[in-house]
Structure 1
Amino acid sequence: MKKVLVRAGMSPLDTFSADEMIKRNSIGNNVGNLMYAYSVFRNLTTENVELDADYYRIDPDDANRINETYDAYVIPLANAIRPSFIPALKRYTALIERLKIPVFVIGMGMAFPYEPNVKQERPFDGDVKRFVSAVLEKSNILGLRGQITSDYLSYLGFKEGRDHMVIGCPSMYTFGDNIKIRDTELDTNSAISINMTPAADQKVLKFLNDLSGQYKNLEFTPQDLDEMILTYSGTPFLGGAVNSKVSNYPNSLNSAVYKNNQVKFFLSAPSWIKHMGTIDLSIGTRLHGNVAPILAGTPSIAIPIDARMRELTEYHNFPRVPANEIHEDMKLEELLEKVDVHSVEKNQQKNYENFINFLDKNGIENVYHYNSEGLKMPFDKKLDLVNLKEPLTTITSCDADEMAERLQRNFDIIVPKQEKEKSSNGKKIKAKNKTISKLKNDLNEKTEELNELRELDKNTAKLKNDLDKKTEELNEKNRQNEELNLKVQDMENSRSWKLTKPLRNLGKK
């Protein structure tokens, strides 16, 4: 039996409680990460291969243990090319360089603006190049999320088709090419699922937020860790969407969807997909908030707000509407008329074949030949033995006992987290102060050196002035001497003329 290590905050077979997931940050700050992990586990688990999650541990010193325990390391990545992830990317590079087993990167993307300049020089270009080079030493080709990322790596000197290829998001291949979207007609009783990103344009947020007053069976599906904490305990963790000042975003228990218990935070990808099968339409600015309903056959509308989401929705041909085409007073039915909810079906078979081609190029064993509709995969059989957790609902929907239990558990988690963050921030501040102090000392030294140079310049200038004066005086003396010499010469010539005059006269006689 071969063993493969997979980058994942948790295995789809894990059944952590909500408080344990918060404590461990099993979702990697966004529950959408569970979606593509589910696909990787389902597609790569065979009768001969079993997969283990690495729980987001990145330690180069683990290289020997990984070499001895596993036959390969699969690293699914989302928008890894972004400043905040570069420290982790550098640690992965250090780890990969010490590994002796194959390393496969599946689905790496970038976080650039909607209209990016991929040829713009960026501070992390060198770090990305070193990471990609390290991976190519351990595998044949990298799988990228979209064409914009591919163009960026080509700009860095890597060749498309040889070093990297576009495969989209692996989450879209959870069930192979088996995607069939059902039709839908909306009325006020329709079950609507909305998802949002705080960074979205205000017109988009207002449009989505206002839907809660128009459809009584509406649900909000948050994805971020701080939203998970808010849903679980009502007491948000510092930072992120919940503490943002963004208007028209559900960021507190006073928001309509929280007040009306219309919030569901999913604790596993399979349960998320299953629930989306009961929804009539999903709409929003989140990628995996729209992937889940698509996998369930539910119509969806994506609203891309950046290059990350743009390249994926274009590659997979999601039903989508640009943010600039949405205005506050438009109706959802009007938006639905702008898209073909079946468009995503048209590219799926070709994209899935391309994904399998990528796996084959790297020699990655998979379930392609068995992945047909209704047929259980080896991983499905394992999943059938697991009791998946129900989605998390708001604390205000709980009875008094559960509410008290959540608050206490949250207190036990958040206080140490915030103390740790405070301590970490203190250390960072101390380190920054130390750096500032060193820079200040260096500056003082440079200032002293500069002052010395300025004084030296003054002395040099004075010496130069003195030298110029002496030179002028010398030149004047030389000129006077020349004049004197000329006078002496004239006198000698005159005297010589007078002395030779009698002789000249004698000659004439």
Structure 2
Amino acid sequence: MARLLIRAGKDPFTAVAPETTLTQDVFNSNSGNFLFQHSVWKALDVAPHELVANSTLSERRAASADDAARIDEEFDHFVIPMANSFRADFADKLENLTRLIEQLTIPTTVIGIGAQAPADRSFDALDGVRDVTQRFVAAVLERSASIGVRGEFTRDFLVHLGFPGDAVDVIGCPSLFLHGPDHEVHRKVEALGRESALGLNLTPEVPGIGAFATEQAERHPHLTYVGQDQHDLRLLLWGVSHPHVADPLAPTHLRHPLYQQDRMRLFVDTWSWYDFLAQQDFVYGTRFHGNVAALLAGTPALMLAHDSRTLELAEYHRMPHRLQPHFDEPVSVDELYEATDLTAFNEAMPERFERYAAFLERNGLEHRWQPGRDASRFDTRLAEAMFPPAVHTLAAPDLSEVASRLEWLRHASVIDLTRHPQRYEYPFNTPTYQGAGSRTARLAQQRDAKIQRQQERIDDLTARLVRLETMTFRGFLVRVARKTLSLVRRG
């Protein structure tokens, strides 16, 4: 039996409340991360092997030698499903993960990593992450046969950095291989109408997308916006607007019509997400995993690709897409649906899957699609699991969402995590980093000094109390003796 440590916010079966998901950032800022993490989990969860989620603690803080020693001792393989990780705002986390990998001796396999740049796909936009990317990939290739990347752009970037092309396997995003090589998607209706159920996903930072979203909501009364990131979840749970989006037409504040009409949803588990999207006629928008979730649910979807990462994935998987770096003209959903031809996607799936499976086998990872593998444990656990329902807005007409928030607050406030009954327990927690000179080390030293002073004070007070009790008892004996002596003398 092999033990595999998987980079994942949680395993696919553990239900975590939406409030706790947000407070502890279980989905790593975006629920779309669960799609590729749990798809990899499903692929590798074969008997008798054991899989453990690292809760992405490997990149939330700098690694220590103790962290690496524990992983080397307890696990046989470190499997790292990734996304668009070669980007500037992920550089510090990639640095932490790199430092950990450099200290490991066990095999380490990276699955589906990608670079992020504007739609023109210039390497100049990646200047800020060149050094950390070079270190990361070098550390991985010392511990694996190859690295799995999302698409041609990412492969070309790594070759540009000097890595051999035969060590870089283009495998796309593992999320799309959840159902294996035979998954196909077909149209449900011939044409869309006013009563059609539509799913919209979007990236609020894309220029002009607010006007696009508001217009779509007005034209299509049965359209639902499905959010994905932590700002969306905070908005739905607590009514807090996105702090970095100023566009009043974007559905990023509680005054937006989509919020007021309770036409926004967010799912903290993939399985309930798939169930919801399976009920839609068509899904479209700028979010890669928002559209992938629809395709995995069997619903046609069209990607509005706005940068290199979404474009290279759509091209590799031959997903229906069109380049849409900004929204400066009206968009017709009827035209989008008419352009959604799934023939190429369905035809490409078996060959793309074979590449993915070959990559896993090249790196010594057994998977459920190999002959004779027992994958029943995953299917049984998933069938037995229960997940939270979709998160609605606070404007839900039956006030159930407000009551749910009050119930959570009644148990514990957001900052009082230690006593919260729904706290998510990390399955592979690691000691708090206390490297020399770190803020954590200084706080620990201050805490220990305070405890020491308190203990010394307690010891001093205890000694004084003992002396007082002794002196009081002695005084009592003296008084008794004197009284007895007096009585004897009188007698």
Give the TM-score taking structure 2 as reference length.
0.79
- C-alpha change, 1:63 and 1:287, in structure 2 (3 Å) is same
Residue 398 of structure 1 deviates from its aligned partner by 6.5
Match of 1:164 among 165, 168, 176: 168
Residue 329 of structure 1 deviates from its aligned partner by 3.6
Residue 280 of structure 1 deviates from its aligned partner by 0.2
Match of 1:182 in 2: 186
Match of 1:227 in 2: 232
- C-alpha change, 1:180 and 1:405, in structure 2 (3 Å) is closer
Residue 392 of structure 1 deviates from its aligned partner by 0.9
Number of corresponding residues: 410
In the TM superposition, what are the counterparts of 1:235-250 in structure 2 within 5 Å? 235-236=240-241, 241=242, 243-250=244-251
- 2:357 is aligned with 1:351: no
Match of 2:425 in 1: none
CA distance in 1, matches of 2:355, 2:82: 18
1:193 aligns to what SS in structure 2? strand
Mean Cα deviation higher: 267-276 or 145-154: 267-276
Match of 2:312 in 1: 311
CA distance in 1, matches of 2:328, 2:89: 32
Equivalent position amino acid for 2:275 in 1: K
1:302 aligns to what SS in structure 2? strand
Mean Cα deviation higher: 351-360 or 60-69: 60-69
Match of 1:131 in 2: 136
- C-alpha change, 1:329 and 1:135, in structure 2 (3 Å) is closer
Residue 200 of structure 1 deviates from its aligned partner by 1.7
- C-alpha change, 1:401 and 1:279, in structure 2 (3 Å) is closer
CA distance in 1, matches of 2:19, 2:143: 37
Residue 325 of structure 1 deviates from its aligned partner by 9.4
In the TM superposition, what are the counterparts of 1:228-307 in structure 2 within 5 Å? 228-236=233-241, 241=242, 243-307=244-308
Contact 2:305 2:324 in 1 (8 A): yes
CA distance in 2, matches of 1:304, 1:20: 32
CA distance in 1, matches of 2:407, 2:173: 38
- Largest Rg, 1 or 2: 1
Contact 1:180 1:345 in 2 (8 A): yes
CA distance in 1, matches of 2:413, 2:165: 45
Residue 206 of structure 1 deviates from its aligned partner by 2.4
- 2:3 is aligned with 1:3: yes
- C-alpha change, 1:188 and 1:377, in structure 2 (3 Å) is farther
Q: Deviations over 1:137-162 (max 9, x none)?
A: 1111000011111110001000112x
Q: Deviations over 1:346-397 (max 9, x none)?
A: 211110000001011101110113699xx97531211111112211111221
Contact 2:207 2:326 in 1 (8 A): no
Match of 1:363 in 2: 364
Match of 1:200 in 2: 206
Residue 182 of structure 1 deviates from its aligned partner by 2.2
Match of 1:86 in 2: 91
**Long gaps (5+) in structure 1:** 418-430, 432-509
1:368 aligns to what SS in structure 2? coil
CA distance in 2, matches of 1:2, 1:371: 17
Residue 297 of structure 1 deviates from its aligned partner by 1.2
Q: Deviations over 1:100-140 (max 9, x none)?
A: 21100001111111112226771331211111111111111
- C-alpha change, 1:414 and 1:250, in structure 2 (3 Å) is farther
Contact 1:233 1:407 in 2 (8 A): no
Equivalent position amino acid for 2:52 in 1: D
Match of 1:55 in 2: 55
Residue 400 of structure 1 deviates from its aligned partner by 5.0
Equivalent position amino acid for 2:360 in 1: L
1:124 aligns to what SS in structure 2? helix
Structure number with greater CO (CA < 8 Å, separation at least 6) is 2
Q: Deviations over 1:87-106 (max 9, x none)?
A: 11111121112112110000
**Long gaps (5+) in structure 2:** 418-438, 440-491
CA distance in 1, matches of 2:6, 2:231: 25
1:334 aligns to what SS in structure 2? helix
CA distance in 2, matches of 1:389, 1:7: 23
Contact 2:8 2:53 in 1 (8 A): yes
1:381 aligns to what SS in structure 2? helix
In the TM superposition, what are the counterparts of 1:405-424 in structure 2 within 5 Å? 406=405, 409=408
1:97 aligns to what SS in structure 2? helix
Match of 1:322 in 2: 323
Match of 1:122 in 2: 127
Match of 1:41 in 2: 41
- C-alpha change, 1:401 and 1:76, in structure 2 (3 Å) is closer
Give the TM-score taking structure 1 as reference length.
0.76
1:36 aligns to what SS in structure 2? helix
Match of 1:218 among 209, 223, 227: 223
CA distance in 1, matches of 2:83, 2:113: 5
Residue 178 of structure 1 deviates from its aligned partner by 2.9
Q: Percent identity?
A: 31
Match of 1:456 in 2: none
Equivalent position amino acid for 1:210 in 2: E
CA distance in 1, matches of 2:152, 2:351: 16
Match of 2:388 in 1: 389
Equivalent position amino acid for 1:194 in 2: L
Residue 402 of structure 1 deviates from its aligned partner by 5.2
CA distance in 2, matches of 1:397, 1:371: 49
Contact 1:45 1:379 in 2 (8 A): yes
Equivalent position amino acid for 1:193 in 2: G
CA distance in 2, matches of 1:283, 1:121: 28
Match of 2:30 in 1: 30
Q: Deviations over 1:267-303 (max 9, x none)?
A: 1011111221111000000000000010111011110
CA distance in 1, matches of 2:207, 2:133: 30
- C-alpha change, 1:392 and 1:371, in structure 2 (3 Å) is farther
Structure with the higher fraction of residues in helix conformation: 1
Q: CA RMSD in A?
A: 2.4
Equivalent position amino acid for 1:12 in 2: P
